[in-house]
Structure 1
Amino acid sequence: MSTTGSGSEGGGLADDRALLGRTSTAERVADILRTRIAEGFFPPGTRLSEDSIAGALGVSRNTLREAFRLLTHERLLVHELNRGVFVRVLAVEDVVDIYRTRRLVECAVVRGLGTPPFALDGLTRAVTGGERDAREGDWKGVSTANIHFHRELVALAGSARTDELMRGVLAELRLAFHVVDDPRALHEPYLVRNREILDALQAGERTKAERLLADYLDDSREQLVEVYARLVDAAPATEA
Structure 2
Amino acid sequence: MDGMQPAPGDDALVDTLREAIIAGAYLPGARLNEAAVSAELGVSRNTLREAFGVLTEQGLLTRIPHRGVSVGSPSTAAVIDLYRMRRLIECGVLAVADPLHPAVAGMRAAIAAGEAAIEGSDWSAVGTANMDYHTALVSLADSPRLARTYRNTAAELRLAFMKIDNPEQLHRPFVVRNAEIVERLAANEPSEAARLLERYLIDSERTVLAAYTRLGIG
TM-score bracket, shorter-length normalisation: over 0.9
- 1:158 match: 142
- 2:4 match: 16
Alignment size in residue pairs: 217
**TM-score (ref. length: structure 2):** 0.95
Does residue 32 of structure 2 align to residue 48 of structure 1? yes
Secondary structure at the counterpart of residue 25 of structure 2: coil
Matched letter for residue 134 of structure 2:
H
CA radius of gyration, larger in: 1
Q: 1:140-169, CA deviations, whole angstroms, 9 ceiling, x for partnerless residues?
A: 000000001111111001111111110010
- 1:39 match: 23
After TM superposition, list the pairs within 5 Å mapping 1:30-179 onto structure 2.
30-114=14-98, 116-119=99-102, 120-179=104-163
Matched letter for residue 87 of structure 2:
R
Please give the alpha-carbon distance, in whole angstroms, between the structure 1 residues aligned to 2:97 and 2:43. 44
Q: Is the 8 A contact 2:96 2:191 kept in 1?
A: no
Matched letter for residue 153 of structure 1:
L
Please give the alpha-carbon distance, in whole angstroms, between the structure 1 residues aligned to 2:163 and 2:191. 34
Secondary structure at the counterpart of residue 82 of structure 1: coil
Matched letter for residue 57 of structure 2:
H
Please give the alpha-carbon distance, in whole angstroms, between the structure 1 residues aligned to 2:25 and 2:215. 19
Shift of 1:173: 0.4
Please give the alpha-carbon distance, in whole angstroms, between the structure 2 residues aligned to 1:161 and 1:232. 36
After TM superposition, list the pairs within 5 Å mapping 1:178-217 onto structure 2.
178-217=162-201
Shift of 1:32: 1.3
Aligned residues: CA RMSD? 1.4
Shift of 1:103: 0.5
Secondary structure at the counterpart of residue 217 of structure 2: helix
Q: Is the 8 A contact 2:76 2:217 kept in 1?
A: no
Does residue 215 of structure 2 align to residue 231 of structure 1? yes
Shift of 1:230: 3.0
Please give the alpha-carbon distance, in whole angstroms, between the structure 1 residues aligned to 2:175 and 2:57. 32
Of all paired residues, the percent bearing the same amino acid is 41
Higher mean C-alpha deviation, range 55-64 or range 222-231: 222-231
Q: 1:63-102, CA deviations, whole angstroms, 9 ceiling, x for partnerless residues?
A: 1101101111111001000000000111100000000010
Q: Is the 8 A contact 2:111 2:130 kept in 1?
A: yes
Please give the alpha-carbon distance, in whole angstroms, between the structure 1 residues aligned to 2:118 and 2:66. 43
Runs (4+) off by over 3 Å = none
